[in-house]
């Protein structure tokens, strides 16, 4: 299942409407919020990404429509548990340095989504235990990722591909590990349909 939102179009739309988040950060944030809160995270995520933008601006309306589509696609990818989740990142044709930066930003957003939600003691304990503690440590390392302009292009490409696959699997695993913390109202988890919480 491909995400129906193009990275470059969303990234440009977020910039044009004055949002403080780029496309990779916003998608990472969404994945982290979905893991802890399920569909209930939708409205708060949308509000956070568009915070400080002009609600009456047509550019914001365009951006909001793309974010709604991204929410629904991402929710389905995680909830249907069919390994179709993909981090929203630049195309493979973009420079490795650009993609490495986006990868780091995705991890920043994901970690923010995990730790900035309301946390009870049980959730804090789960995040501090393996495998989630390992995932959080790894993502913290990736936030410092940078491509070396003088490095071996082929080896950097291989490393980038491996990191993308790791994030894909890690996000799905985190979603599974935190299932018990999502509210019962999040009944769409097994239903295959994203609830229209943003409409």
Give the domains, in start order, of the chain with CATH numbers.
Answer: 7-182 (1.20.120.740)
The packing angle between helices 58-79 and 41-49, to 10°, is 140
Confirm if 72 and 34 have CB atoms less than 8 A apart. no
Give the angle subtended at the CA of 149 by the CAs of 148 and 151, to the nearest 5°.
60
Could you tell me what percent of the chain has a pLDDT over 70?
86
Number of helical (H) and strand (E) elements in the chain, helices listed first: 8, 0
Please state, in angstroms and rounded to a whole number, the distance separating the CA atoms of residues 75 and 196: 11
CA-to-CA separations, 38 to 79, 164, 191, in angstroms, rounded: 9, 23, 13
Q: How far apart are the first and last CA of the chain?
A: 22
Q: Both tokens of residue 44? A: 């708060």
Please state, in angstroms and rounded to a whole number, the distance separating the CA atoms of residues 73 and 65: 13
Segment 102-127, tens digit of pLDDT = 999 999 999 999 988 777 888 889 99
Identify the sign of the CA torsion 3, 130, 122, 24: negative
Identify the sign of the CA torsion 124, 129, 134, 137: positive
Contacts of 148 (CB under 8 A, 6+ apart): 156
- In which region does residue 83 sit, left (phi positive, over 0), alpha (psi from -120 to 50) or beta (all else)? left
Segment 73-105, tens digit of pLDDT = 999 999 988 778 999 999 989 988 899 999 999
Average pLDDT over residues 188-195: 47
Query: Residue 196's pLDDT is what?
Result: 53
Please state, in angstroms and rounded to a whole number, the distance separating the CA atoms of residues 87 and 168: 6
Confirm if 114 and 174 have CB atoms less than 8 A apart. yes
pTM for this one?
0.89
Segment 143-159, tens digit of pLDDT = 987 655 555 678 888 98
CA-to-CA separations, 8 to 11, 41, 90, 198, in angstroms, rounded: 5, 24, 7, 23
């Amino acid at each position: 299942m491909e995400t129906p939102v193009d990275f470059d179009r969303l990234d440009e739309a977020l910039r044009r409407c004055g949002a403080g988040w780029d496309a990779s950060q916003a998608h990472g944030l969404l994945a982290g919020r979905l893991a802890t809160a399920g569909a209930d995270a939708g409205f708060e995520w949308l509000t956070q990404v568009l915070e400080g933008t002009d609600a009456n601006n047509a550019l914001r309306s365009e951006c909001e429509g793309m974010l709604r589509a991204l929410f629904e696609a991402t929710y389905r990818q995680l909830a249907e548990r069919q390994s179709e989740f993909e981090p929203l990142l630049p195309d493979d044709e973009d420079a490795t340095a650009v993609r490495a930066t986006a990868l780091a930003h995705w991890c920043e957003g994901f970690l923010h989504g995990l730790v900035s939600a309301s946390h009870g003691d049980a959730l804090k304990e789960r995040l501090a235990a393996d495998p989630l503690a390992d995932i959080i440590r790894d993502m913290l390392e990736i936030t410092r990722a940078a491509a070396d302009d003088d490095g071996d292009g082929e080896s950097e490409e291989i490393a980038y591909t491996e990191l993308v696959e790791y994030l894909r699997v890690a996000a799905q695993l985190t979603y599974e590990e935190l299932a018990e913390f999502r509210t019962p109202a999040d009944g769409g988890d097994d239903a295959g349909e994203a609830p229209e919480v943003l409409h």
